[in-house]
């Protein structure tokens, strides 16, 4: 009897470990990913020459190799971290097994909204939002806000399916913008007349998104295997 009770307690502790990883690591990693995204991807002692991840979607349009077609980019790919942060925050906010209180849920939903609204183009107007140039951003914005509004329903999705969605989003958001940024970094260095290295924002954003993907996947599969 005592052995069975001990084994049961051990199993519960093992299961709770997965919950704790998602409950605390993932919200913190989402916040750090957003901070890294709006932080310096190109750092410089002159504040006006600092380039953030948020700037890149517009900034790259004016680089000579991009304008000439020498470097081909998916410009909207620079906004993937915002989409990943917003959708992931909405997907986990109401999951019953995570048992978030309302302060944490409110924080996650606020992060989802703030990340989504940063998809708006600069100096936007309704007519400008309807142009081909910004169509993908606006579609992503609508999807993110809809996901936030329906977050209690997303909480009913199977854990494994949610884990796969979050992992794909997070890995894509960590890989695609970084690869494109590194492709244009020499051109930015040429503009600055000095070679540039990736800033702390890029490293923090990518590492945090990969942490989200790893933690969510581990949680999803571990929880299913424990049932």
* Residue 107 covered by a domain: yes
Question: What is the secondary structure of 154-213 as a DSSP string?
Answer: HTTS-HHHHHHHHHHHHHHHHHHHHHHHHHHHHHHHHHHTS---B-HHHHHHHHHHHHHH
Residue 112, pLDDT score: 97
Average pLDDT over residues 106-113: 96
SS3 41: strand
Average pLDDT over residues 88-108: 90
* Residue 138 covered by a domain: yes
* Residue 14 covered by a domain: no
Contacts of 117 (CB under 8 A, 6+ apart): 141
3-state helix vs strand vs coil in the chain, percent to 5: 80, 5, 20
* Residue 52 covered by a domain: yes
Q: Which strand (E) or helix (H) includes residue 52?
A: strand 51-52
Strands (E), 4-49: 40-42
What is the distance between the alpha carbons of residues 205 and 24, in angstroms, rounded to a whole number?
A: 17
* Residue 118 covered by a domain: yes
Average pLDDT over residues 207-226: 80
* Residue 11 covered by a domain: no
Residue 122, pLDDT score: 77
pLDDT in tens, 151-198: 999 888 888 888 899 999 999 999 999 999 999 999 999 999 888 999
Give the number of domains in the chain: 1
Residue 38 pLDDT class (50, 70, 90 cuts): very high
Average pLDDT over residues 215-222: 82
Average pLDDT over residues 88-110: 91
* Residue 146 covered by a domain: yes
Q: Is residue 12's pLDDT more than 60? A: no
Q: Output 21 or 159, whichever has higher pLDDT.
A: 159
Q: Is residue 21's pLDDT more than 70? A: no
* Residue 20 covered by a domain: no
> Domain range for residue 97?
27-226
Residue 45, pLDDT score: 85
Residue 15: count other Cβ atoms within 10 Å of its Cβ: 16
What the block records as the tokens of 184 is 């244009």
* Mean pLDDT computed over every residue of the chain: 86
pTM of the model: 0.86
């Amino acid at each position: 009897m005592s052995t069975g009770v001990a084994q049961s307690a051990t199993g519960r502790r093992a299961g709770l470990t997965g919950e704790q990883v998602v409950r605390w690591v993932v919200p913190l990693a989402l916040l750090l990913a957003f901070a890294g995204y709006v932080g310096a991807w190109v750092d410089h002692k002159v504040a006006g020459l600092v380039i953030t991840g948020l700037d890149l979607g517009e900034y790259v349009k004016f680089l000579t190799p991009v304008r000439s077609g020498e470097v081909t980019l998916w410009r909207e790919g620079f906004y993937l971290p915002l989409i990943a942060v917003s959708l992931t925050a909405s997907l986990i906010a109401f999951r019953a097994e995570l048992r978030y209180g309302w302060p944490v849920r409110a924080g996650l939903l606020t992060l989802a909204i703030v990340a989504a609204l940063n998809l708006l183009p600069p100096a936007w107007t309704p007519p400008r939002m309807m142009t081909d140039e910004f169509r993908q951003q606006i579609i992503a914005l609508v999807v993110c806000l809809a996901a936030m509004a329906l977050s209690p329903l997303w909480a009913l999705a199977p854990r494994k399916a949610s884990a796969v969605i979050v992992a794909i989003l997070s890995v894509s958001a960590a890989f695609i913008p970084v690869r494109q940024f590194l492709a244009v970094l020499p051109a930015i260095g040429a503009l600055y007349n000095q070679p540039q290295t990736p800033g702390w924002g890029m490293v923090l954003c990518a590492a945090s998104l990969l942490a989200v993907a790893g933690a969510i996947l581990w949680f999803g599969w571990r929880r299913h295997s424990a049932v």
